[in-house]
Chains A and B, each alone.
Chain A
Amino acid sequence: MKINFTINGKGRAKEIKASTLLIDLIRDGLKLKGTKPGCFEGECGACTVLVDGHAINSCLYLAVNVAGKSITTIEGLGGEDQFLDIVQEKLIEHGGVQCGFCTSGMAMSIKSYSDKCKEEGKVPNRNEVAKSLEGNLCRCTGYVKIVDAAISVCGN
């Protein structure tokens, strides 16, 4: 079947199978390798992308359900030929990146949550920020610097 969607601001049409997972469409179909395959069970969050601005696990999401929707991956956040997003800037500034495998997923979760907070005019506390990242595992850091980065994105 053929679906139409927007990926990182560009409209695309793609032939997929009914059972195709969004992560496979992104990595294999669109060759965007910044979205990482981790556990494939929704536990680690490395595959997190935004669908219409909201963070979801692309390993547990059917590609058919992005029809008519807008996907943002780490490549759409910033880098290469565009400026880095504030989320990426803050992760670098706070030293929130070590091996990097979890980073793209972390960045997308921080983006989703900080945008929601801004929309609601809310400045979240440290516990709330940490809770928003409970679906993202990092095995290098102790999370402290990642949470620091997220807090500064959220306006503290």
Chain B
Amino acid sequence: MSYDFNIESPQTADELLAVIAANQDKNFRFGAGGTDLLLELKRAPQENLTVVNLAQLKDPIFKSITKVAGGYRIGALVTAGEVLDHEEVKSEFYTLWEAAHNLASMQIRQVATVGGNLCTASPSGDIACALVALHARCEIINTKGELRSVSVADFSTGVRKTVIQKNEVLRSVVVPINSNPNLHSGFIKVGTRLSMECSVVSLAYHIQMDDNRTIRHAGIAIGAVAPTIKFTDSACAFLIGKSKLIDTEREEFAGLISDYASPISDVRASAWYREEVLFNISKGLME
């Protein structure tokens, strides 16, 4: 079998839903930036495949970042490059900005989308990891036009698996606005080289403090150390009400984060190395 497929290029949201409805009994895949999909199809071609090409869709909800009640809505087709050019994303959600900044290369950031990073459901997805830390929610639309909302943390159910049904498509994500004035937010990515790297361990953190620098809200997610990206509930709860951690607390905190990890050994790193790195970057997080 050689690399080949049919293509549908809907221009509007209505056309997209109609294309999905018309292909319910056929083998189809969504393609947006195409940087993951085309690689996969070149390596493992599929028979009678239709690619639903989202790159020509002009729908503003799919394609833009807008302020909505209680948060920011980021369309599934917003590219990593567009995330980087958005001043409010940078100031409000630095973890997301830094994740996009660390993603692949300039050429790939130009086309790779937020929705693609989520739907490819890699445990080392950078943008996905930041969105989990930010308590973001996915807005999924079906062929009848009905919307449902799923937290990004629950969106992926395993490696390359998501909650998306065959009659659905990811439309957007909503990131809740910050409820406190002071932020400690960022994205730590450890790989075997600095550029173009798939994470060996990643950690997204978004910690909100009140005027007295007391932690009121915390979101910490870890990637590449379990089959899905993990939100570290108990480590986040540990921080609430504190402002600084003393040495022994930092160890305890790092232990709480590490409890969520169940890494494997692969070509990029051993399980032991991943555990050590995760513990050490966690310990350094609140210094």
- Please list the residues of chain A having a beta carbon within 8 angstroms of any beta carbon in chain B: 17-19, 21, 40-43, 45, 48, 54-57, 60-62, 64-65, 67, 109, 112-113, 131-136
| Chain B residues whose C-beta falls within 8 Å of the C-beta of A21 in the assembled complex | 38
Question: A18-B5, A64-B9 given as contacts; is B106 within 8 A of A134 (CB)?
Answer: yes
B196 contacts A19, CB within 8 Å? Answer: no
| Chain B residues whose C-beta falls within 8 Å of the C-beta of A57 in the assembled complex | 35, 107-108
Question: A17-B4, A19-B5 given as contacts; is B106 within 8 A of A55 (CB)?
Answer: yes
Question: A19-B3, A19-B4, A112-B106 given as contacts; is B42 within 8 A of A61 (CB)?
Answer: no
Residue B56, interface by CB 8 Å? yes
Residue B53, interface by CB 8 Å? yes
Bound together, the chains give a CA A131 to CA B53 distance in angstroms of 30
B51 contacts A18, CB within 8 Å? Answer: yes
| Chain A residues whose C-beta falls within 8 Å of the C-beta of B39 in the assembled complex | 41-42, 60
Question: A21-B38, A60-B38, A65-B55 given as contacts; is B108 within 8 A of A135 (CB)?
Answer: yes
Residue-wise, chain B 46-61 has the 8 Å CB interface mask toward A (1 for contact) of 0000010101100000
Question: A65-B55, A135-B105 given as contacts; is B110 within 8 A of A55 (CB)?
Answer: yes
Question: A65-B53, A135-B196 given as contacts; is B9 within 8 A of A109 (CB)?
Answer: no
A132 contacts B106, CB within 8 Å? Answer: yes
B38 contacts A109, CB within 8 Å? Answer: no
| Chain A residues whose C-beta falls within 8 Å of the C-beta of B229 in the assembled complex | none
A60 contacts B34, CB within 8 Å? Answer: yes
| Chain B residues whose C-beta falls within 8 Å of the C-beta of A41 in the assembled complex | 39
Bound together, the chains give a CA A48 to CA B109 distance in angstroms of 13
Bound together, the chains give a CA A106 to CA B34 distance in angstroms of 22
Tell me the chain B residues, 1-47 only, with Cβ under 8 Å from chain A.
Answer: 3-7, 9, 31, 34-35, 38-39, 41-42
Counting from the closest, the 5 A-B pairs by CB-CB distance are: A135-B105, A134-B195, A18-B7, A65-B55, A135-B107
- Residue of B4, B35, B53, B81 near A64 (CB, 8 A) is B53
Bound together, the chains give a CA A131 to CA B7 distance in angstroms of 34
- Residue of A62, A113, A131 near B31 (CB, 8 A) is A62
Residue B104, interface by CB 8 Å? yes
- Please list the residues of chain B having a beta carbon within 8 angstroms of any beta carbon in chain A: 3-7, 9, 31, 34-35, 38-39, 41-42, 51, 53, 55-56, 81, 104-108, 110-111, 194-196
| Chain A residues whose C-beta falls within 8 Å of the C-beta of B42 in the assembled complex | 40
| 5 new A-B contacts at CB < 8 Å, known A60-B39, A134-B195, A135-B106 | A19-B3, A42-B104, A56-B111, A109-B106, A113-B106
Query: How many whole Å from A28's CB to the nearest CB in chain B?
Result: 14
Bound together, the chains give a CA A131 to CA B38 distance in angstroms of 25
| Chain B residues whose C-beta falls within 8 Å of the C-beta of A54 in the assembled complex | 81, 110
Bound together, the chains give a CA A111 to CA B7 distance in angstroms of 32
Bound together, the chains give a CA A59 to CA B248 distance in angstroms of 51
B196 contacts A134, CB within 8 Å? Answer: yes
Output the residue of B56, B81, B108, B194 with the most chain A CB within 10 A: B108
B34 contacts A61, CB within 8 Å? Answer: yes
B106 contacts A60, CB within 8 Å? Answer: no
A62 contacts B55, CB within 8 Å? Answer: yes
Question: A19-B3, A21-B38, A109-B106 given as contacts; is B55 within 8 A of A43 (CB)?
Answer: no
Query: How many whole Å from A154's CB to the nearest CB in chain B?
Result: 14
Question: A55-B110, A60-B39, A135-B106 given as contacts; is B5 within 8 A of A43 (CB)?
Answer: no
Bound together, the chains give a CA A41 to CA B34 distance in angstroms of 11
What are some 10 contacts across the A-B interface (CB < 8 A)?
A: A19-B7, A42-B39, A45-B105, A62-B7, A67-B56, A112-B106, A135-B104, A135-B106, A135-B108, A136-B105
A62 contacts B34, CB within 8 Å? Answer: yes
A134 contacts B7, CB within 8 Å? Answer: no
B110 contacts A56, CB within 8 Å? Answer: yes
B6 contacts A18, CB within 8 Å? Answer: yes
- Residue of A43, A62, A113, A132 near B53 (CB, 8 A) is A62
| Chain B residues whose C-beta falls within 8 Å of the C-beta of A62 in the assembled complex | 7, 31, 34, 38, 53, 55
Bound together, the chains give a CA A136 to CA B107 distance in angstroms of 9
Closest to A62 in B: B34
